[in-house]
Amino acid sequence: MSGAVPGFVPRMLVDPDIGLFRADERVFTAMLDGWRAQMLARGLTADTIKQRCQLLERFQRFTGEFPWQWRPADIDDFLADLRSGEKPISLKTLRSYSNAVAMFCSYLTHPAYGWGEFCERTFGDIPSQICFEWNMPRHTTDDAVPAKKRSFTKAELQRLFDYLDDLVDQEFAAGSKRWLPLFRDPVAFKVCYAYGLRRREMTMLDLEDFGPNPHVSDYGRFGAVQVRFAKGAAASGPRRRTVLTVPEFDWVGDQLKTWTAGGMRQQFPTAERSSALWPSERGARMSLGSFGDAFAAARMPSVCRRSWACIASGIPT
């Protein structure tokens, strides 16, 4: 049985000839290793696994006790402390934290992994589930966006795009080398808006992701885009979807033609390294964080032109 289930009690812990020096710490580490193996077997990403294990280590340090000693009041105190500090965590984060602890407890209490029997024999106590419906945040809606946040109006979007376009013209007229990255970012933002993309979906676009729409030949090779890095369900990996160019946003085709066939993209020294749609000055592809910083700077009324130009070109302000 011990070799049949990922995450089962390690052989080194159940061997009667091997003593357990600092048994509580060693067993807790083995529990995390077993849970890590189980999550790997489920296909979860390395980042997700790392974050969950770090949270459990943090929870253990907060309580000063170990899983076979945890009680519901412990998770109550832990989450209440995180929600009542100077910078309280969001409801979304609170939900993910409580879910992680609940999943770890479910793993420990499942009889297939043998931890209950082992802990009873070793410590005289057994792990139990400490997260329940009555002490976990309820998930009553799929929309976790705070109510105070809203979408841009058409007038606000037009004002933003006009500002960015004017800034490109000014930098180009002044002979500044910053005009090229300043041209790239607004095109990326417009593509993101026209096709309804998430930031990561936009960042990961390649030249080959665009293709014609056989029903609308006027759009040429920009009649549709295949989104290969769409958000997927847990352990399923990125999903794919195809988004068609629609008449309301047919102007995006001209933007893409200017960027690709017009020679703008090719002026980046890194453009030949890959087929990434958005090359950067130093890498084959712009990073998600760089696009996020650039957009945040562009939409803030208090940001001066130099700040936006420096962010777009990677120069510290």
Q: Which residue has the tokens 């793993």?
A: 107
**Distance separating alpha carbons of residues 68 and 71, to the nearest angstrom:** 9
* Residues 39-72: tens digit of each pLDDT: 999 888 899 999 999 999 999 999 999 999 999 9
Which amino acid does the sequence have at 99?
N
- Residue 41 C-alpha from the chain's centroid: 21
Residue 297: pLDDT band with limits 50, 70, 90: confident
Q: State the pLDDT at residue 305.
A: 45
Q: In this predicted structure, what is the pLDDT of residue 141?
A: 53
Indicate the Cα dihedral angle 121, 123, 125, 127, nearest 10°: -100
What phi and psi, each to the nearest 5 degrees, are found at residue 240? Answer: -115, 145
Cβ burial 235-274 (10 Å sphere, 16+ → b, else e): eeeeeeeeeebeeeeeebbebbeebbeeeebeebeebeee
Is the pLDDT reported for residue 247 higher than 80? yes
**pLDDT > 80? residue 238:** no
- At residue 2, does pLDDT exceed 60? no
pLDDT-based confidence at residue 283 (cuts at 50, 70, 90): confident
Portion of the chain with pLDDT greater than 70, in percent: 83
pTM: 0.63
User: Which positions ≥6 away from 256 have C-beta within 8 Å?
Assistant: 187, 191, 210, 222
How confident is the model over 127-156, as a mean pLDDT?
78
Nearest to 235 by CA among 55, 97, 48, 110: 48
| Contact in structure between 223 and 212 (CB atoms under 8 Å) | yes
Are 24 and 123 within 8 A, CB to CB?
yes
